[in-house]
Chains A and B, each alone.
Chain A
């Protein structure tokens, strides 16, 4: 790989002009020091503002918002003398207030960021310093620079992105946990730069060239040039990423290549998501209506003013004016805009933000969303779509990990066409299920242990884990695995303690028994051993042991087999020689045309024999060629229980555990070899040549190893049954082994179908033996793929596909994934609530249907429609046929509904432009749809199609990386924080821990949030229209001149202060129906789906009511004061007071709950208004010129007429609403 580096580097250089050069910070070269200085330091500031820049920058940001521009426009308008309505300073108040509130909010958020920044920047790590005795000294993170050497110990957090130069591990390997970055708890291996001379720190003269900072976590390219001008490529697995944690490795040293904001972690640090909710879109329409209303009112006033002026003759009171009536009308239009500005509920936007924050506070604090096992609550990541939860019409759910536990437990397997039902194992699983259902007595304890895990200790041992596991065993505690989310993921006793099938054990025992001579049986035995071998090594599982300080079990000094409980004691020689023979024959069976190789021919095998001895010996340390292994610290003989497997996916762990149950134990893993214990053979070191990792397009993974016994290059492949079954057709060996392979394939397929019907997840295991030449050829091309910089990924994929052909099918496994608790109930509730539930899964059809039945998505009375077809034409015909069937079914009574099951291929056709209409039409009529065998991209396409074409509110829920695109596309994306890392959670709007939480989240919180917000918005419109109309009516009596009968301060404050708090409280706390009722009657959810609380008709009805109320509120005082000596403000005083009372009492009528908080706020608002006006009318002598309130309200409130008018107005105004509510 390295040899090609010159070429690689050339490509690299030509492609990435923009790259960075990193050298040791100790360099004397001035020029290079300058370069280093140009890189950003490790000081992190996530704050938006600094102390000085806050005011200008915040203002600038806020002025970008449309609402604020409107405000400023109004304020500016008021400075134009011909149109000004109030004194200029008053018109600034609203904008100032809104800006101030927002600024305070921003400041608070920024301060919190600043505090955490300060904490992080102040963390300490060790940096090599030449100045101070040439040793490592403690430095704060913020003082770390590019080119510095950083030494880290176990469990320390990595301060910056650095290149791994040294690891205390003899293999040059270091383990990191990336939980802080992506939430994945499994350990990942990182490797010291290859061929690195021992030249750390002082004498590090290499130059590192790498690409410029970017946010791709999984990519890092560059090369390191040694002083000798030799170059070595750098890859992602040389890079330690900031904010990951060092695990299982005592000390590492690295050189910083990216620091601070240039680190990949920081580049990935995005802010919260922003979505616009349906209600808000609806709201914007009504805001536009308000604008229309405002323009109409202003136009009316403007025209009225023009006409009034024209009819007016010489006036003694009017200021002589040469302006034409038309022009004054035009001026007046703008004046009226200022006067009636409140009609546009600008403060509504701020209020909505506040209300949503509080709603989120309540959602997050709901005890029902608390998961005791994981000690986690619901996470609300999107802050502004709470009310969308109340309007969901379609739910798209992933299956694995969402509906099911994603706790994979090995259930049964088929090898070489023989099924092993594992009856005992099934019984055991039932017992677990019962146990789990019965008591949660363990839960407290397991939580405690989980706690103890997160306890950070520098000694870096995992005794706490082992303590837990051990007590768990001794007391027979079956704690569910999520209790240990971090360290021993996927390894609860339930998943570990697999009871072997007696029949299979018996067969395996033949390995150690001398009576193996039956040819067919031993042939089968080869398959069996290979099968378990594949289970054990075809994975990326990291093995660690709890007791050992070093954790990584490498190889054991005692090369003797410790395995003797099942097999009768034998000399090590006999089983080994047997196995040797067995394998040689196995190889012969698959490669040599000779149909019946016998053990006696073994010696003549040319390539197997000579290396045999070496491979057996290789298990001895010292001989396996890794330098430094010899001098390893002491090993202890370990009990098998103490191995901990950390897998990337739960399936892997389940299979490794299964293999272990059959004594085929994975004992350790290093970069180049695997240590496997085989029955009857003890520990074998298997040279690991390649891992071709899993990807979703190949749907399989492979390992290429040199077989320890035959020394052949063997490929073990594990993958989805559909792909493996296709690949396992071997045209090459067809004539010879077709009979047997064909039989195996036939049988296996039968068993697979059975498994799927049972709802098991199936995986197929296959192998392939490579000839040396064949391998050489492949290796060359693969090496090229690996080292190429341009489209490396595609080349690697291609290379893998080249290898994975002509496989020999070994067998298949069936893994149980149990349903989560209360899934059927939740789905039933959702369906009753009128939500259509779709299940999108990558599993095969039978499994999907089975799960759908189990979670009551599919009822027994449902008619099942299956759509599988191979061509577009067939698909089209099928869709039409199914639709006809549905129509027939709808006409005929009896079936409760239809469920459509579509497979991935058909889905591809159905999603095409000309068929999607038919597909939607069909699926719209079905109660549920199950899409199986679907890819992540298809999932998101389906969601998008339904969302856009049917114009419905969609929710997608999933837990894995394959659900991310679907989660992002849906209106509401929900991530399940479970076994599969955090990618789904990171891209979601809400993250819950169990599927059942969806029920309360939608039915209760969604309903509440929606009705609350909808009612609050309506109330806001009502309030503004009601109040503004009072001013409008007055225009008819003042010559449409834009006069107001209220003090301008009171006018401005009326909306901003006196009546702003109650609607907020209303939006936060109102409960139209209690939580219990909502849960019991999911049908109530339909009101939100149909937007019942906020229909256009509701809006206009509210407007009408507001109009009526304002008419009452204006004209009762008008008639009461008509012709009297009342001045403008005295006339306005009772109008204002009754408007306040009406608005507050209107809310009392509207709201369904009144708590002491409501009373407090309502009474407080009223008192605030009255005391404000009273004090103002006493204190304000010459203030607020045209509408000086001195003495007005004081006098008014001492008169009985005032109260008489207020009481009558209030009662009459509220009478219709009150009667209607009844």
Chain B
């Protein structure tokens, strides 16, 4: 403090003395700059919220939100969706037996057929999901239990996976590929759809298994170590996850572009769901080139190879067929919410307008906040 004093004095000393000429105004002094910024006089828009500015805002919001809400609601209503619970909790359910004789490592596959019917034809592409309930894919320790570098094709991580994968890191002293709890609990039911012709014959509906994962996941995030050829060799020396029946390089032996870490079913599973009740895309039923609907109305059979146990934690398994709109899947909530909020705004606007008219005079003097 004292130190800076010297500076100030020195500076002063260099000032030319303007004596007696009244030219002192030019002498530099400590007078602060009279600028708008320093004097806190910056031109400002003062959003004084008076009736004049607030009321229109309410009406404008109302006017915009209500049509959007109606649009969303209509769109959502046009989406066709069908859900079939095939957990087999009830005795009457076709899958009851399978659900009872559950075990991760049972070798004998258990199959069941669930018949259902469509009241309306499904136009355009139809998306087939499997849905799980009460399955906490977002549990912190579950979410952590993966090794992204291993999945990205890093050979070092393949041999020694991240510690986060414990206790699914090694099995029989061999590293597990893919390691971790998420991969270990991969959904392994197989779902097939059959259309029952009015004449009784079953037609398998072609289910496309490619294109169900995100493009970035499939092409950037997930990679097989050392390319997609010779996966058997690459994964030599690794162990399959304990719950799996086959190794990762056997997930889709028919298609090298869908095998190993880049198997799309696997990728979809690895993207952990946000909420304990979720669905995951399983297959796509592409629309037919001619004008016939993708899924005509009528009788169908869902063939399930029942492997995945959920009864132990009171989970449910579902198969969902749904068409899509620009807003995604069926969800009436957003449309209703928009309409509600829009109406509330409109209503508030009217109420405030009335208040303003009644007590308008008082409001004017109250622009100074208390």
Contacts and interface: CB of A to CB of B under 8 A. Distances in A.
Interface of A: 44, 46, 85, 113, 116-117, 119-120, 123, 157, 180-181, 243, 265-266, 269, 312-320, 335, 362, 364-367, 370, 372, 375-377, 444-445, 447-449, 451-452, 454-456, 464, 467-468, 471, 1037-1039, 1041-1043, 1045, 1069, 1071-1073, 1075, 1077, 1081, 1084, 1087, 1092, 1116, 1118-1128, 1130-1132, 1148-1149, 1151-1157, 1181-1182, 1185-1188, 1190-1191, 1194-1195, 1199-1201, 1204-1205, 1208, 1211-1212, 1215, 1218-1219, 1221-1222
Contacts of B149: 1182
Contacts of A1221: 49, 54
A456 B44 CA distance: 46
Interface string B295-336: 000000000000011101110000000000011110101100
A243 B6 CA distance: 9
B136 A1039 contact: yes
Contact of B19 (A375, A449, A1188, A1194): A449
Given A46-B3, A1041-B138, A1126-B275, 20 more contacts: A119-B6, A119-B7, A316-B309, A364-B32, A365-B38, A366-B39, A375-B30, A1043-B138, A1073-B369, A1081-B368, A1122-B331, A1124-B331, A1126-B278, A1128-B138, A1148-B47, A1155-B44, A1182-B149, A1185-B147, A1201-B327, A1222-B51
Contacts of B148: 1182, 1185, 1188
B274 A1131 contact: yes
A180 B312 CA distance: 84
B22 interface: yes
Contact of B43 (A157, A377, A1155, A1222): A1155
Given A318-B141, A1208-B341, A455 B12 contact: yes
B199 interface: no
B126 interface: no
10 contacts: A265-B2, A370-B30, A451-B15, A1037-B274, A1045-B138, A1120-B337, A1149-B47, A1185-B164, A1186-B146, A1191-B221
Nearest to A374: B30
A1152 B47 contact: yes
B280 interface: yes
A1128 B276 CA distance: 11
B276 A1222 contact: no
Q: Which one of B34, B274, B328, B344 has the highest number of Cβ atoms from chain A below 10 Å of its Cβ?
A: B274
B27 A468 contact: no
B44 A1071 contact: yes
Interface string B134-167: 0111111111111111001010000000101001
Contacts of A1037: 138, 274-276
Given A313-B312, A451-B24, A1188-B148, A1212 B273 contact: no
Contact of B334 (A447, A1149, A1205): A1205
A1123 B7 contact: no
Given A117-B3, A375-B29, A456-B13, A1072 B141 contact: no
Kindly state the interface size class of chain B when it binds its partner.
35 or more
Given A464-B17, A1185-B162, A1188-B148, A370 B31 contact: yes
Interface in B1-51: 1-7, 9, 12-13, 15, 17-25, 27, 29-34, 38-40, 42-51
A1018 to B, nearest CB: 14
Contacts of B313: 312-317
A1075 B41 CA distance: 9
Nearest to A118: B3
A445 B22 contact: yes
B346 interface: no
A1215 B345 contact: yes
B3 A367 contact: no
Contacts of B46: 1152-1154
Interface in B197-240: 214-217, 220-221
Contacts, number: 320
Contact of A1186 (B43, B47, B143): B143
Contact of B22 (A448, A1128, A1156, A1157): A448
A763 B339 CA distance: 85
Nearest to B349: A1219
B95 interface: no
A834 to B, nearest CB: 14
Contacts of B40: 362, 1069, 1071, 1075
Contact of A1211 (B54, B141, B214, B341): B341
Given A46-B3, A366-B39, A1123 B277 contact: yes
B357 interface: no
B264 to A, nearest CB: 13
A1131 B143 CA distance: 15
Contacts of B334: 1119-1120, 1201, 1204-1205, 1208
B338 interface: yes
Interface in B103-130: 104, 129
Contact of A319 (B68, B141, B348): B141
B44 A1153 contact: yes
A375 B31 contact: yes
B17 to A, nearest CB: 4
A1186 B144 contact: yes
Nearest to A1043: B140
Interface string B56-88: 010001000100100010000000000000000
Contacts of B338: 1204, 1208
B12 A1222 contact: no
**Pairs A-B, 8 closest by C-beta atoms:** A1191-B216, A448-B24, A1131-B274, A452-B17, A116-B3, A1153-B44, A1041-B140, A365-B32
Nearest to A112: B4
Contacts of B247: none
B260 interface: no
B142 A319 contact: yes
B273 A451 contact: no
A382 to B, nearest CB: 13
Contacts of A44: 3
Nearest to B276: A1037
A243 B2 contact: yes
Contact of B141 (A265, A1041, A1151, A1191): A1041
Contacts of A314: 312-313
Contacts of B141: 318-319, 1041
Contact of B328 (A180, A1069, A1152, A1201): A1201
Given A1120-B334, A1208-B334, A180 B7 contact: no
Nearest to A1195: B214
Contact of B274 (A1045, A1152, A1211, A1219): A1045
Contact of A317 (B12, B32, B181): B181
Contacts of B273: 1125-1128
Contacts of B89: none
B179 to A, nearest CB: 12
Contacts of B294: none
Contacts of B327: 1200-1201, 1204
A603 to B, nearest CB: 58
B136 A317 contact: yes
B29 A318 contact: no
B171 interface: no
A526 B126 CA distance: 124
A1116 B336 CA distance: 11
Nearest to B69: A1208
B285 interface: no
B2 A269 contact: yes
B15 A448 contact: no
B279 interface: yes
A1128 B44 contact: no
A316 B243 contact: yes
Q: Which one of A335, A376, A452, A1127 has the highest number of Cβ atoms from chain B below 10 Å of its Cβ?
A: A1127
A1123 B32 contact: no
B1 A269 contact: yes
A1154 B337 contact: no
